[in-house]
Structure 1
Amino acid sequence: MGDLIQVTIPSPKKLDIKPENIPLDILYEDEHLIIINKSVGIVVHPAPGHPNGTLVNALLYHCDNLAGIGGIERPGIVHRLDKDTTGAMVVAKSDRVHQHLQGQIKAKTARREYWAVVCGSPREDNGTINLPIGRHKTDRKKMAIIPVEKGGREAVTHWEVIERLGNYTLMRFLLETGRTHQIRVHSTHLGYPLVGDKLYGSGGSLKVNLSGQALHAYKLTLQHPISDRTLEAIAQLPEEFTKLLRVLRNR
């Protein structure tokens, strides 16, 4: 009792990120920003277990002077998509643009529209989920509905039915906030887990070989930080997603 314990926490080790010649599906590009259609299975930035082969490695190869924009370890990254989520992502090429784009997301003026196929069929045609999200208490890989007073952060998701497909539904999700796994957590909480999402649901019983959850960032709308004009980028559905829809429509 009364012992003094001294703990020294080392500084975070900066990742040595190397440019890699990985193909990019570019939806729009100018000298200030680039919008890409992220493919399935690619991690956005290096992290433990994924030191290379990431979107950041590809961007450093493609873009000049991207290193350090918005941070050393996540250069240019304004918002993220999960490894197995596909679709539109914007990346900044300068700190000024990076700050402006992040401000749009924080002010909820940037519009992010996702399409997903879920298990089940909601009774209503549309709705809003306003439930805070935080790290799961026992499974650190997962997020969960957590009260704000216990560490949860505000999370708002608007949803709308696009097409009913028997016991499955093609849905549109619009994000006001950008919490980790937000759509996956909110939709599962409603009782409609995403097809192929083995982390938050059974993944569904369909005989379709999916690389991950059926979730795609379909449309990104934002204000260009320099020209002030509205940019709207649409990422066409990947083949796995369209195959899933064909199977469901033919059942």
Structure 2
Amino acid sequence: MPNISFTVDESNAGIRLDKFLSRRFPEKTRSYITKHIQAGHISVNGLSVKPGYAVHAGDRVAVDIPVKETQLKAAPIPLDIVHEDESILVVNKPPGLTVHPGNGTENDTLVNGLLHYTDKLAFYGQSNRPGIVHRLDKNTSGLLVIARNDEAHRFLQKQFDTRQIKRVYSTLVWGIPGESSGTIHNFINRSRKDPTKMRTTRDKGKEAVTHWRLIKEYLYFALLEVRLDTGRTHQIRVHMASIHHPVVGDPEYNGREKQLMRLPDNLRKRGAHLLKQLNRQFLHAGQLSFIHPLDKKEVTFNAPLPTDLATTCQHLKDWFLL
């Protein structure tokens, strides 16, 4: 049961307290929130108020709303902290680590590790995601910025909403694109056949923009630098598959054994070994730039390729060099 407190900003002034909290905690029903206001579990400026109280800019709201204990259980998960200050953390997430609890994963997530590492995390937004501003897929490695207070969370979230955050990924794809660079601009929606997967559409879903640039060519493979304007679920993986260059190792978007048929007979065994060694999609968020919440200056952080991806690159040099 976390103790959460935050200050009301100008944009929310005049809103009923119960409605304001419903926006902050969308996974909770209005009746659930009303019950806790009436029970005195939620106060404003240290005083008990009614659900219909109109909040003012500068009001300090203190909330003690229970969430599932398993969702917020601290766990001694090793973290690669790239940067730390009073406002943010920057973490280099390893592959295989889910960012936050949900969908059957309760304890072994980045959030559980963060709770073990620090008691200073923003609780702005969904209560099972303290500090989380953006996400990476479980088997995508790389940089994430974590908010340590609500003000930092709002400031960073606004940058994501206005596409000011700069994210650079490294990915290895099957085949060599016909151009040295390109942009994929369409919409991404959930798959009708499999709701755990995404698909591209021309006009339905969420707008998605991906810029890619060819870094190095190998026999039957290409290393790309990818930059995102938007951050949709599985965006890079879906977009690269949509132009017939799926991410190497991606089990969900046709990036594994089926692609071995691209290779000649004498290289197929080496390709199979490459996939066996990799065991995940070759996708790494290696650079992250944003305006820092404290001094309002742009900062940039970098993370090198992890061992499994660096090993894959060495195999490419040994076996598939042009």
Structure 2 length normalisation: TM-score?
A: 0.72
For residues 215-235 of structure 1, the C-alpha deviation after alignment (integer angstroms, 9 at most, x for no partner) is 000100111011112211101
Q: Which residue number corresponds to residue 99 of structure 2?
A: 44
CA offset at residue 67 of structure 1? Answer: 6.1
Q: Which residue number corresponds to residue 297 of structure 2?
A: 229
C-alpha separation in 1, matches of 2:129 and 2:198: 22
- Which structure carries more helix by proportion? 2
Q: Which residue number corresponds to residue 252 of structure 2?
A: 199
CA offset at residue 147 of structure 1? Answer: 3.8
Residue 155 of structure 2, aligned match among 81, 96, 100 = 100
Residue 179 of structure 1, aligned match among 224, 229, 232 = 232
CA offset at residue 65 of structure 1? Answer: 3.1
Q: Which runs of 5+ in 2 are unaligned?
A: 1-27, 33-65, 261-270
CA contact 1:70–1:76 (8 Å) conserved in 2: no
Q: Which residue number corresponds to residue 249 of structure 1?
A: 317
Structure 1 length normalisation: TM-score?
A: 0.92
Aligned residues: CA RMSD: 1.6
Q: Which runs of 5+ in 1 are unaligned?
A: 1-9
Counterpart AA for 1:107: T
Q: Which residue number corresponds to residue 116 of structure 2?
A: 61
C-alpha separation in 1, matches of 2:197 and 2:165: 26
Q: Choose between structure 1 and 2 for higher RCO, CA contacts under 8 A separated by at least 6 residues.
A: 1
Structure 1 segment 21-32 matched on structure 2, within 5 A: 21-32=76-87
Q: Which residue number corresponds to residue 8 of structure 2?
A: none
SS in 1 for 2:125: coil
| Identical positions, percent | 41
Counterpart AA for 1:61: H
Q: Where do 4+ consecutive residues of structure 1 move more than 3 Å?
A: 10-15
C-alpha separation in 1, matches of 2:68 and 2:223: 39
| CA spacing shift, 1:134–1:15, aligned 2, 3 Å | farther
Structure 1 segment 148-159 matched on structure 2, within 5 A: 148=203, 150=204, 152-159=205-212
Structure 1 segment 10-159 matched on structure 2, within 5 A: 11=29, 14-16=67-69, 17-66=72-121, 68-148=123-203, 150=204, 152-159=205-212
Counterpart AA for 1:175: L
CA contact 1:69–1:92 (8 Å) conserved in 2: no
